[in-house]
Structure 1
């Protein structure tokens, strides 16, 4: 059977990560940070299964979604500060030890390519690319606006099947650019790739067919898009902004 990936192909390849479980080194949940975060504790107790296409983690600040994405990305072999498996840059290590406690159940014969897009560390990643240029050269990310550089990175790095981790990628993107990101995610899925994304964006979370996991004080629970607290809050706010704002400004 032909195993070569071609853009636009909808043939399903074996997904890079089928499930995430705790390994034998994992501490008992609730004693050591970040196991004190309910969602992280649930991952260590029960594990999580990832969808073949796109899985979103949605929740408030501090709910643990970014910690989980970071832990899985690092366990896969990606740089905690962003980039591919070949990226070896570090400015100030701040990652949690979660990756050391995770065991990834990988798909047989799955692609090993991966990329971690982390909004808060992209400036240092661009500097790393400047200082370590590829033989084919690269785009001048630092000369672009924040949003333009994100879109350029999507065009230049999100072009192969594999495992893509994204941590709040909408932070740099306008509404239209977020729609462009959705098109990129669809291209990855069509080519047999897999995506794990932490997001606050109701637009991004509306990606058709995605698995949505809502993260909060309850831990992790599956959810439908129209049931998300995130979506309901945005819907209510846009229908009547003054009703929300007067409680803050009076």
Structure 2
């Protein structure tokens, strides 16, 4: 699966430098058992239940690459609250032979701060003129949450890039999630690599990909149909009355 031309080939945990494995974030099973994690040359999904370390791992990779901890490109330097872990100091990104022309780190939980930073840069005469022009030309704060998210995907991500997305489905309707699959495919065709943490069984259905599932025992590669997200949604959709009776204790 390795392609020397992909931007990030794998992630290594520098285990000999870890001070202790009984403290966060190294106490997380996915991190404690990590040696080297191979990534797909096009799309890698990181999935799992809440608290298994998806965002922690994704965030560390983004910071290690040079992105701002709260999202955006490597040129963004805004900071509102230092909430990221120190994991980025203990990992090594094994890179390919190519360097991306573009890159973006999207964090659903700090997207508001990103939108605010863009407006501040423009009000201060940011580099290259109006920064918002590359996001569609309209204030992200003047759109709905979903519209502003999709404006980033549609306008800011231009291809030939490394894109790290943390729960991009957070503000998207099911229809927009399907539209995101189309956009992902366009970016892949433009020599992009995407690394995505998601709970969405729609988004993770993208076929040319690798799914890495984080559990209480570590990280394992799984097929789409093996994910809990797929099986739970399928069971609920196919047996809704029965599932509701169970959930409501009837």
Query: Structure 1 length as normaliser, TM-score?
Result: 0.90
Tell me the secondary structure at the aligned position of residue 95 of structure 1. coil
1:19 pairs with 2:18: no
Shift of 1:244: 2.4
| Alignment-derived partner of residue 37 in structure 2 | 48
- Structure 1 residues 138-159: Cα deviation after superposition (integer angstroms, max 9, x where no partner): 1210000000001111122111
The total of aligned residue pairs comes to: 237
1:148-171 per-position Cα deviation (integer Å, ceiling 9, x unaligned): 001111122111312111111101
Distance in structure 2 (CA, Å) of the matches to 1:86 and 1:191: 22
Q: CA deviation at 1:23?
A: 2.9
Aligned partners of 1:126, 1:33: CA distance in 2, in Å?
30
Counterpart mapping for 1:91-240 below 5 A? 91-111=80-100, 113-133=102-122, 134=126, 135-138=129-132, 139-240=138-239
Secondary structure of the 1:132 match is: helix
Gaps of 5+ in 2: 133-137
Residue 22 (structure 1) shift: 2.0
Q: Is the 8 A contact 1:147 1:173 kept in 2?
A: yes
Q: 1:227 to 1:190 in 2, by over 3 A?
A: same
* Unpaired runs of at least 5, structure 1: 1-11
Q: Distance in 2 between matches of 1:72 and 1:203?
A: 24
Residue 137 of structure 1 deviates from its aligned partner by 4.4
**Residues 47-86 of structure 1: pairs in structure 2 closer than 5 A:** 47-86=36-75
**RMSD of aligned alpha carbons:** 1.7
CA distance in 1, matches of 2:244, 2:218: 30
* Cα distance in structure 2, aligned partners of 1:29 and 1:181: 40
Structure 1 window deviating more from structure 2 (145-154 vs 130-139): it is 130-139
Higher relative contact order structure (alpha carbons within 8 Å, sequence separation ≥ 6)? 1
Question: Any idea what the Cα deviations from partners look like across 1:206-232, whole Å, max 9, x if unmatched?
Answer: 001110011111211000001111110
Indicate conservation of the 8 Å contact 1:25/1:100, yes or no. no
Q: Hey, what's the Cα distance between the residues in 1 that align with 2:177 and 2:214? A: 22
